A and B are shown apart, each in its own frame.
Chain A
Amino acid sequence: MRRPHLPPEPASLPDGPVSPAAADVEAERAGGEVVLDGIGVAPGIAIGPAYVYRPGQFQAEPEALDPGGVEAEVERFERAVARSERELRKIVTVAQEKLGEGSARIFDAQLLVLRDAEFYDAVVEHVRSHQVGAAFAVQAVMEALRRRLDASGNAALRERAGDLLDVQNRVLRNLQQGRAFSKIERDRVVVAENLTAADVLLFARRGVRACVLDFGGPTSHVSIMARALGVPAVVSLHDVADQVQPDDLLVVDGFSGRVVLNPGPETLARYRAKQARFHSLREAREGLAAEPSTTLDGRAVALQANLEFREELPLLDEYGAQGIGLFRTEMLFLTQGKALEEEEQYVVYRDVVRRAAPHGVTFRLIDLGGDKILPMGRREANPFLGWRGVRILLSKPDLLRPQLRAILRAAAHGPARILLPMVSALDEVRAIRQAVRETAEELAREGVPFGADVPVGVMVEVPAVALMAEHFAAEADFFSIGTNDLTQFVLAVDRGNDLVAHRYRELHPAVLQLIRRAVDEAHRAGITASLCGEMAADPRVTPLLVGLGLDALSASPAYLTLVKRALRAMTFEEAHALARHALLQPDADGVARLLRRWLNDHTPDLAAVLGVEAEAQEESEK
């Protein structure tokens, strides 16, 4: 439903990644419009002129400084170097642990370059004597050094020029921070190859209407940030940044993942109508936020928020979330480059717990690794199957212990739970529970206030846990089903890989079977089961998830209104029948068809906003 629209199976393997966009361009050019299909990751419809953002092509101009501005520019350079130093130190530490001394020394050499007189003093001297911007001075000094290496005629030396270029890019990026954004006008659609979460935040503050990107997936940080800020976004468009010219008019559908370049009058009218319907639904939000999240026949399903920044806390009330079903703690690590001290973590967790009360907060322990691995020159061959989640925590008490202490202390201020990521075996659950017990004893000995009996739950994302659910349910206090990884693992599909991403189907009956098993075994053991993957955010799938018996759904707050609308339009009995039927389907397409028909029969106005109506029509016409 939300997958990129890919051509049928190629007869032979293509040379490069399949580009659905290119195929569409051919088909649509006749009409003047160009339709590009990607993945809709943040809901909403936006129409506006393009702002093409190309951070990679940064080339500093020799901007002349006022004599009074020279020392300020030198200080700005010092700050950029200091920031680059912190980044490289972090990379060296990680490289030492995971790649060994040899690889770490490459980065150590780059670290040494930053403060080398031939670089640092030369740049400062250049800024002072020529009265030009630091970025230009960095380029000039590095250019001269590289020329020296190239002139040697020695192949090995020319290779070393690459290390200098890495340093140059890092310093330039840090000099540029906050500057690249000054030129953008309001009401633009940002078009880029890729953005960071921080970029999206800066763009949102400058009033952009939407973001469309070549890269990224639903769980990329850029997507999470766009959802949190309510900026419609479409990612994985492959070559949108090359196709769009500055000021081209764009229509962005953050639901279906469709982007229309140079839309004709009919297309514009259709999307304006869709935009109006979405806005009217949004306006009904305040009313809906206060309504209970129950089915027509009174079955309660808690709708909770996935959050990771303190800044997102106001969204809880705005969208009527019943607490936080998933609080990701990695950002506390990634934005600082090292784990925060216990005290700093405690302050964040305490604020979050207080704000969410009387509802609870589920803190997922630091889930590093996989796609969130720290940047460095090399990666694990199979990062998704590698050193990540609870596997890292159990081998790094210096990461685990301060976090456990901080969470237990925060639990003194309101209900909190601990969620273990990437569990694959019972001994991992036992080891963490043991660490939690020891931490509580330690706090008690020290006389530090903490919450007793903080529940410890297991993330169901490795298929083994779903298959052995009865054993895990006996030792866990709750289940939280992470369908993003579960789907990737059970279907053996990396959804970040263009060649196979279309085979990533959350609605695959194999995924649904595992969810059903986990839910049923949880209930048999008397514990709850919630779901916190992307599926939970998709109102088209809500009837199925409710029917499978989930006790709670946790999603980005921006989606909760539509999910609640879907929930309040069905009876549990109907949903249960739908789920039974879905489990019998032979493939994902069968499940998708079943769902579309069901939505059109039960919630036609919601189906219209979500574009399900049109799909169903196309189907009946076939």
Chain B
Amino acid sequence: MLVREVTVRNKAGIHTRPASQIVREASRFAADFYIRKDGYEINGKSIIGVMTLAAEQGATLELVFDGKDEAEAAEALAALFEKGFGEPI
């Protein structure tokens, strides 16, 4: 298992568009993927799960990966958060 801490950088936070990017990206990997925030954990491969995450700009999240390609998955997802989902930061 591997845990990465990330910060939501884009202005609009995790709304519908970033949510679909997160799910699409995570689905490329075999590793299980969860997002933790304030003691709440959701399945990061479920669009409904990610959509129910109230994550605004500046929020800190824990990305949890578990599976044989967890390192690559963590790299890819962290990069997505880092570039703010291609949205204004």
From the candidates B13, B21, B23, B49, name the one contacting A156 in the complex (CB within 8 A). B13
Minimum CB–CB distance for B55 against chain A, Å = 9
Taking the complex as formed, is B19 at the interface, i.e. its CB lies under 8 A from any CB of chain A? yes
From the candidates A117, A149, A159, name the one contacting B52 in the complex (CB within 8 A). A149
Q: Please tell me the number of chain B residues within 8 Å of chain A, measured between CB atoms.
A: 18
Taking the complex as formed, is A426 at the interface, i.e. its CB lies under 8 A from any CB of chain B? no
Is the beta-carbon distance between B17 and A106 smaller than 8 angstroms?
yes
From the candidates B15, B23, B46, B49, name the one contacting A160 in the complex (CB within 8 A). B15
Chain B residues lying within 8 Å of A163, measured Cβ to Cβ, are 16, 51
Interface residues of B in 2-31 (CB under 8 A from A): 13, 15-17, 19-21, 23-24
With A157-B52, A157-B54 known to touch, is A109 a contact of B46 (CB < 8 Å)? Answer: no
Chain A residues lying within 8 Å of B17, measured Cβ to Cβ, are 102, 105-106, 109
With A118-B48, A157-B52 known to touch, is A112 a contact of B20 (CB < 8 Å)? Answer: yes
Closest to A148 in B: B52
Report the bound CA distance from A586 to B46 in whole Å. 66
B21, B46, B86, most chain A CB atoms within 10 A? B46
Report the bound CA distance from A432 to B23 in whole Å. 43
From the candidates B16, B54, B56, name the one contacting A106 in the complex (CB within 8 A). B16
Is the beta-carbon distance between A109 and B52 smaller than 8 angstroms?
no
Report the bound CA distance from A117 to B11 in whole Å. 30
Closest to B53 in A: A157
Is the beta-carbon distance between B52 and A108 smaller than 8 angstroms?
no
With A112-B20, A112-B23, A149-B52 known to touch, is A156 a contact of B47 (CB < 8 Å)? Answer: no
Is the beta-carbon distance between B16 and A119 smaller than 8 angstroms?
no
Is the beta-carbon distance between A112 and B52 smaller than 8 angstroms?
no
From the candidates A105, A106, A116, A149, name the one contacting B46 in the complex (CB within 8 A). A116
Is the beta-carbon distance between A160 and B20 smaller than 8 angstroms?
no
From the candidates B20, B49, B52, name the one contacting A105 in the complex (CB within 8 A). B20
Taking the complex as formed, is A152 at the interface, i.e. its CB lies under 8 A from any CB of chain B? yes
Report the bound CA distance from A113 to B24 in whole Å. 12
Is the beta-carbon distance between A156 and B56 smaller than 8 angstroms?
yes
Chain A residues lying within 8 Å of B20, measured Cβ to Cβ, are 105-106, 108-109, 112
Is the beta-carbon distance between A118 and B46 smaller than 8 angstroms?
yes
Report the bound CA distance from A157 to B19 in whole Å. 12
Taking the complex as formed, is A145 at the interface, i.e. its CB lies under 8 A from any CB of chain B? yes
Report the bound CA distance from A314 to B52 in whole Å. 55
Is the beta-carbon distance between B13 and A145 smaller than 8 angstroms?
no
Minimum CB–CB distance for A91 against chain B, Å = 13
Is the beta-carbon distance between B16 and A105 smaller than 8 angstroms?
yes
Chain A residues lying within 8 Å of B56, measured Cβ to Cβ, are 156
With A116-B46, A118-B46, A156-B56 known to touch, is A109 a contact of B13 (CB < 8 Å)? Answer: no
Closest to B21 in A: A105
Q: Please tell me the number of chain A residues within 8 Å of chain B, measured between CB atoms.
A: 23
Minimum CB–CB distance for B3 against chain A, Å = 23
Closest to A162 in B: B16
From the candidates A113, A116, A154, name the one contacting B54 in the complex (CB within 8 A). A154
Q: A105-129, CB under 8 A of B: which get 1 and which 0?
A: 1101100110011110000000000
Is the beta-carbon distance between B47 and A116 smaller than 8 angstroms?
yes
Chain B residues lying within 8 Å of A105, measured Cβ to Cβ, are 16-17, 20-21
Q: A140-184, CB under 8 A of B: which get 1 and which 0?
A: 000001001100101011011001100000000000000000000
Q: A73-113, CB under 8 A of B: which get 1 and which 0?
A: 00000000000000000000000000001100110110011
Minimum CB–CB distance for B46 against chain A, Å = 5
From the candidates B13, B15, B47, name the one contacting A113 in the complex (CB within 8 A). B47
Chain B residues lying within 8 Å of A101, measured Cβ to Cβ, are 86
Chain B residues lying within 8 Å of A108, measured Cβ to Cβ, are 20, 24
Is the beta-carbon distance between A156 and B48 smaller than 8 angstroms?
no
B21, B24, B47, B54, most chain A CB atoms within 10 A? B47
Q: B40-62, CB under 8 A of A: which get 1 and which 0?
A: 00000011110110101000000
Q: B78-89, CB under 8 A of A: which get 1 and which 0?
A: 000000001000
Interface residues of A in 42-95 (CB under 8 A from B): none
Minimum CB–CB distance for B79 against chain A, Å = 17
Is the beta-carbon distance between A119 and B13 smaller than 8 angstroms?
no
Is the beta-carbon distance between B15 and A116 smaller than 8 angstroms?
no
Minimum CB–CB distance for A27 against chain B, Å = 50
Closest to B12 in A: A156
Interface residues of A in 497-519 (CB under 8 A from B): none
Report the bound CA distance from A101 to B18 in whole Å. 11
Is the beta-carbon distance between A119 and B54 smaller than 8 angstroms?
no
Is the beta-carbon distance between A152 and B19 smaller than 8 angstroms?
no
Report the bound CA distance from A126 to B23 in whole Å. 25
Closest to A109 in B: B20
Chain A residues lying within 8 Å of B13, measured Cβ to Cβ, are 156
Report the bound CA distance from A105 to B51 in whole Å. 13
Minimum CB–CB distance for B2 against chain A, Å = 23
Report the bound CA distance from A599 to B54 in whole Å. 71
Report the bound CA distance from A112 to B21 in whole Å. 11
Is the beta-carbon distance between B48 and A113 smaller than 8 angstroms?
yes
Chain B residues lying within 8 Å of A149, measured Cβ to Cβ, are 51-52
Chain A residues lying within 8 Å of B49, measured Cβ to Cβ, are 116, 118
From the candidates A102, A117, A160, name the one contacting B51 in the complex (CB within 8 A). A160
B19, B20, B46, B56, most chain A CB atoms within 10 A? B20
Closest to A105 in B: B17
A109, A148, A159, A164, most chain B CB atoms within 10 A? A109
Is the beta-carbon distance between B54 and A112 smaller than 8 angstroms?
no
Name 23 A/B residue pairs within 8 A (Cβ), A-sorted.
Answer: A101-B86, A102-B17, A105-B21, A108-B20, A108-B24, A109-B17, A109-B19, A109-B20, A109-B23, A109-B47, A113-B47, A116-B46, A116-B47, A116-B48, A145-B52, A148-B52, A152-B52, A154-B54, A156-B13, A157-B51, A157-B52, A157-B54, A164-B48
Extra inter-chain contacts (9) besides given A105-B21, A119-B48, CB under 8 Å? A105-B20, A109-B16, A109-B20, A109-B23, A118-B46, A156-B15, A157-B52, A157-B54, A160-B51
What is the interface of chain B, defined by CB distance below 8 A to chain A?
13, 15-17, 19-21, 23-24, 46-49, 51-52, 54, 56, 86
Q: Which 10 A-B pairs have the closest CB atoms?
A: A112-B47, A109-B20, A105-B17, A118-B48, A154-B54, A108-B20, A105-B20, A109-B16, A116-B48, A160-B51
